[in-house]
Amino acid sequence: MSAHKIIIAIDGFSSCGKSTLAKQLAAKLGYNYIDSGAMYRAITLYFLRHSVHISDHEQVLKALDNIHLSFVFNEKREQSDIYLNDENVEPYIRDLIVAEKVSEVAAIKEVRTFAVGQQQKMGQKKGIVMDGRDIGTVVFPDAELKIFMTAEPDVRVMRRYDELAASNPGITIEEVRHNLELRDYIDSNREESPLRKADDAIMLDNSNLNKEEQLEKVLEWVKDKATNIVAGNIP
Ligand code: DC
């Protein structure tokens, strides 16, 4: 498409298909895809493994000092794996035990400062698609294209259930629903960078769109933005 690389910020509730879209876009445009949620999940995994008390400020700061996160492209998955202190923790960060704790960890101010700083560095050269909860509002407020994704709750529950069932045998739909509702509530109501649509984000409800239709729609938006940049309409 265009040689003018932009930043694409995708935000929305859990299990709206943000990562699927982000990954497709990155592949199509030759951009980097960064899953910012993976960073909060990896931090949560570290906290769980080291029994960090999240209400203990000193313990949280000390733990963050000992955490190094990096992304390494995995050819097989066609997306980057997240490394926690040089260990590929991709296989562990989607477990329910992490999912149950991650919203609380992501609500901690110091954790957000730590993650956001790294995310902003990754976007310095543009040509990046990042998904999360605060990408268009806090991480890249000047992103050229911002998308806010939603889907009907039942659609989201079934998507997450299908994703989790393979690696979490015995998990029930009700457990998945409860976890999603709780995370949405915490993510939207926390004091630090709550999930909200940026004023200039485009709303995308994909309840009734398949992946191809969705990609086609968003590629049109990318084309519009890139054309505007070439024409000098966007700062
Ligand atoms: O996208 P995900 O479900 O993997 O995100 C895991 C958690 O991390 C989610 O409950 C909210 C939090 N998160 C966040 O607060 N800010 C982001 N930019 C990304 C994720």
pLDDT in tens, the chain (235 residues): 456 899 999 999 988 999 999 999 999 999 999 999 999 999 999 999 999 999 999 999 999 999 999 999 999 988 899 999 999 999 999 988 999 999 999 999 999 999 999 999 999 999 999 999 999 999 999 999 999 999 999 999 999 999 888 888 899 999 999 999 999 999 999 999 999 999 999 999 999 999 999 999 999 999 988 777 766 665 5
Residue nearest to atom 10 of ligand 1 (CA): 103
Q: How much distance in Å is there from the Cα of 101 to the middle of ligand 1?
A: 11
What beta strand segments (E) does 78-232 contain? 79-84, 87-88, 128-132, 145-150, 202-205
Distance 4 CA to ligand 1 centre (A): 29
pTM comes to: 0.92
Query: Where along the chain do its domains lie?
Result: 7-219
Q: Is domain 7-219 classified as CATH 3.40.50.300?
A: yes
Return the ligand 1 atom nearest residue 93 CA: 4
Ligand 1: which residues within 6 Å by Cβ? Answer: 14, 36-37, 40-41, 102-103, 106, 132-135, 183, 187
